[in-house]
């Protein structure tokens, strides 16, 4: 008997604190619901705070990330426009005071150790916690709540946050994304082609199906 064909996947580079990543995932969800065949997400983490991150992993609040008030106002306007387009409710328009590093560690650990559906449930719970409920996804207590809410043990949080090797691996993932030419998120990649930004479902359809 021949082996079943693997489920096709789309690579998604993103950071949980990026509002356009949240909106892009909603666009992807809308596209997925239109397909007759399943399409799974191969998530690759990206660190939007890399330029202001200190050697110990914390955020250096005094560091200049090159983004002024005009940049953030334009970003807010773009978020509002896409919220209307994709019919998305968001509690926050920009999460400038939230560090996603802990959430990415936990998500990456679950992605490596558990099955796809368990990772996806946690991933979606993290996104909703920040962008729908306004919770601080950098708080270990919040992450423990989210893990147990989706049927995982709270121990997955402790394991991820205390694992130095996992943290080093996650940093390698961040560097790999940069070496692959990823300069902003979300970036969707499929079959050597890519689309950057919270592009509409029909754009994702063209990316994946070539139509």
Q: How far apart are CA 134 and CA 29, in angstroms?
A: 21
Helix axes 101-113, 116-131, angle to 10 degrees: 160
Q: Which residues contact 42 (CB under 8 A, 6 or more apart)?
A: 9, 10, 11, 12
Average pLDDT over residues 54-80: 85
CATH topology of domain 9-209: Glutaredoxin (3.40.30)
Instruction: Domain ranges for the chain, please list them.
Output: 9-209
Q: Is the pLDDT of residue 182 over 80?
A: yes
Q: What is the pLDDT of residues 111-161, one digit of tens each?
A: 999 999 999 999 999 999 999 999 999 999 999 999 999 999 999 999 999
């Amino acid at each position: 008997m021949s082996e079943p064909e693997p489920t096709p996947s789309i690579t998604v580079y993103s950071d949980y604190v990026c509002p356009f990543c949240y909106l892009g995932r909603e666009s992807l969800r809308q596209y997925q619901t239109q397909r007759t065949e399943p399409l799974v997400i191969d998530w690759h983490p990206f660190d939007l705070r890399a330029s202001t991150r200190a050697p110990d992993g914390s955020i250096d609040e005094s560091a200049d990330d090159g983004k002024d008030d005009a940049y953030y106002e334009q970003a807010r306007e773009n978020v509002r426009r896409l919220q209307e387009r994709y019919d998305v409710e968001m509690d926050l328009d920009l999460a400038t005071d939230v560090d996603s590093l802990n959430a990415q560690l936990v998500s990456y650990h679950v992605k490596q150790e558990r099955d796809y559906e368990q990772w996806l449930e946690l991933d979606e719970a993290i996104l909703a916690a920040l962008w729908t409920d306004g919770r601080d996804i950098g708080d270990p207590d919040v992450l423990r709540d989210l893990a147990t809410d989706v049927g995982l043990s709270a121990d997955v949080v402790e394991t991820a946050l205390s694992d130095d090797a996992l943290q080093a691996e996650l940093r390698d993932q961040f560097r790999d994304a940069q070496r692959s030419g990823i300069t902003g998120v979300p970036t969707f990649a499929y079959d050597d082609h890519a689309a950057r930004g919270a592009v509409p479902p029909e754009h994702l359809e063209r990316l994946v199906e070539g139509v």
